[in-house]
Amino acid sequence: MSEELTPTAELTMPPAAPQSIGDLKRKAQLTGTVKRVELYGAFVDLGLGTDGILHISQIGQDRVNRVSDVLQVGQTVDVWVDRVNPSQGQIILTMVEPLGVEWSDLEEGQVYTGKVIRLENFGAFIDIGAEKEGLVHISELSHDYVKHPSEAVRVGDEVNVKVLNFSKRKRRINLSVKAMLEKPVQEPSAGRNARVVEPEDTYEEIEEPEEEALTAMEMAFRMAMGDNYQSGKGKKGQKKANYRQKIRSQQEDILSRTLRHN
């Protein structure tokens, strides 16, 4: 009795091969056969009823002086669709693999998965498949403080990045890793929101020390030495000042009566 197998994942079917020029899309990869070689390029049979044109400048990354130095009739070649115009029956091909992300494809806020290719003190360079690698400034690597990019990423790492801005004229793409990371919740530090207790707040809880009994001579001595009391500030400070002023008045009265009897 055979066991019934339960599929654990769906199979991804490869895209259907184009059957006509109308099925072609830009950057589509095709395999063709060189049908004819000319000074300016070659014609490639794609099996679609319409031959593709491969210009000499698109045969490779390096400069090609003669097409026949690289291509021969009957040779099988891998090509990509550079442009297609079904109404005119024209297919323009290239043997240079097109960029995954072109300047015209870029938009602020787009998300890409790229690879870290270089680290500098000021940030990390990320390859997202564009003509120019993008820069993640050190301040955009993490929500936490990063002293050097190596503390956050390493060369070869794959990271998710968001496009902050770009300039084709300056050939610059600014990216952010931080924008793809969840912002950590900062717990309030102990006592951060607690009310700060000022000395005046606890003034009424402080009992005035009992005044020690002073002799007339001690009072006179203190007065002569400038044993004065400073008045407090605010309502509570004024209360304390009034209390001390009262004691001072009593002391002065006692001193005055003492001096009259002497």
Residue 64's CATH number: 2.40.50.140
- Residues 50 and 117 both lie in one domain: no
Residue 123: the pLDDT is 96
DSSP track, 45-110? E-SSSSPEEEEGGGS-SS--S-GGGT--TT-EEEEEEEEEEGGGTEEEEESSPPPSB-GGG--TT-
Residue 155: the pLDDT is 96
Q: Is residue 7 part of a domain?
A: no
- Residues 56 and 124 both lie in one domain: no
Q: Which of 131, 162, 180 is the last residue of a domain?
A: 180
DSSP state of 133: -
Q: Is residue 14 part of a domain?
A: no
Q: Is residue 134 part of a domain?
A: yes
**Could you tell me the pLDDT band of residue 21, with boundaries at 50, 70 and 90?**
confident
- Residues 84 and 124 both lie in one domain: no
DSSP track, 156-195? T-EEEEEEEEEETTTTEEEEESGGGSPPPPPPPPTTSSSP
- Residues 166 and 223 both lie in one domain: no
Q: Which of 94, 121, 149 is the last residue of a domain?
A: 94
Interval 98-137: pLDDT, tens = 888 989 999 999 999 999 999 999 999 999 999 999 999 9
Q: Is residue 197 part of a domain?
A: no
Interval 63-107: pLDDT, tens = 889 999 999 999 999 999 999 998 888 999 999 988 889 899 999
Label the pairing between strands 41-45 and 29-37: antiparallel
Q: Answer yes or no: are the C-beta atoms of 161 and 208 closer than 8 Å.
A: no
- Residues 89 and 107 both lie in one domain: no
Answer with the residue of higher pLDDT: 151 or 215. 151
Six token digits for residue 104 = 């015209």
- Residues 107 and 141 both lie in one domain: yes
Residue 205: the pLDDT is 38
Answer with the residue of higher pLDDT: 199 or 117. 117
Q: Is residue 77 part of a domain?
A: yes
Interval 245-260: pLDDT, tens = 777 776 677 666 665 5
Mean pLDDT, to the nearest integer, of 159-172?
Answer: 95
Please, which residues bridge with residue 137 across strands?
123
Q: Does pLDDT of 216 surpass 80? A: no
- Residues 66 and 85 both lie in one domain: yes
Q: Is residue 51 part of a domain?
A: yes
Structural domain boundaries enclosing 119: 103-180
User: pTM of this prediction?
Assistant: 0.54
Q: Is residue 192 part of a domain?
A: no
Q: Is residue 6 part of a domain?
A: no
